[in-house]
Amino acid sequence: AQKVTQAQTEISVVEKEDVTLDCVYETRDTTYYLFWYKQPPSGELVFLIRRNSFDEQNEISGRYSWNFQKSTSSFNFTITASQVVDSAVYFCALSEPSHNTDKLIFGTGTRLQVFP
Amino acid sequence: EPEVTQTPSHQVTQMGQEVILRCVPISNHLYFYWYRQILGQKVEFLVSFYNNEISEKSEIFDDQFSVERPDGSNFTLKIRSTKLEDSAMYFCASSEGGAGGETQYFGPGTRLLVL
């Protein structure tokens, strides 16, 4: 069965620290997609990244980087030099393509608090 | 930058009343979704919609829920007779394509409170 696990419920760091948010997924499909979304205190869901199962190359975007490892079914997210504005709940999600739909299966989220 | 919009941002209703949540997806997107998030919990899939029909629905999406695309721009979620447990944030999302891991872009959500 498809499942996304974010074992870290809450993480607190001080500004400028690096922090890694863990995501472990379960799927029987060979083709799947992984996503990260950010939910700031205002409540909206902001798309951060999409990665397909055939592309294990790590990605860096500014202070954000993602480490995808199929061998451990993990798609971890690292924020370098964290800032107060990074405080939010971060969700990892999985999509398994099927006929005419792309429902997202979300993890339970990790609440990140960055203190000045 | 195009975005998904939702109205209202907040809605308070009495148990048993009907509510309609509205969404305007990104204009060139063809696939539409509703999700809900009970306070403090994860985001859960409700329904997906393509070509004017439901393509998939979850077990949460029972007979009291319905979706509609009444015109070329709006996408609505109707809850016929609200229950206390329907209190949640409801998110609309849209994607350009489907069945290919397309990115879903979410609206800001409607916070529904059922009293």
Mean pLDDT by 10 residues, chain B (115 residues): 92 97 94 94 94 92 94 93 97 87 94 97
Res A97: pLDDT: 81
As a whole number, mean pLDDT of residues A70-96 equals 96
Nearest to B101 among A33, A43, A91 (CB): A33
Q: A116 burial class (0-12, 13-18, 19+ CB within 10 angstroms)?
A: exposed
Distance from CA of B112 to the nearest CA of A (A): 13
* Cβ neighbours of residue A85 closer than 8 Å, sequence gap 6 or more: A114
Task: Give the residue from A110, A87, A100, A102 showing the smallest Cα distance to A36.
Answer: A110
- pLDDT surpasses 60 at A99: no
Q: Mean of the per-residue pLDDT values for chain B?
A: 94
Tell me the three state secondary structure of residue B114.
Answer: strand
As a whole number, mean pLDDT of residues A52-62 equals 89
- pLDDT surpasses 70 at A38: yes
Contact A99 B55 (CB under 8 A): yes
- pLDDT surpasses 90 at A35: yes
What region, left, alpha or beta, does residue B73 occupy, with left being phi > 0 and alpha being psi -120 to 50 degrees? alpha
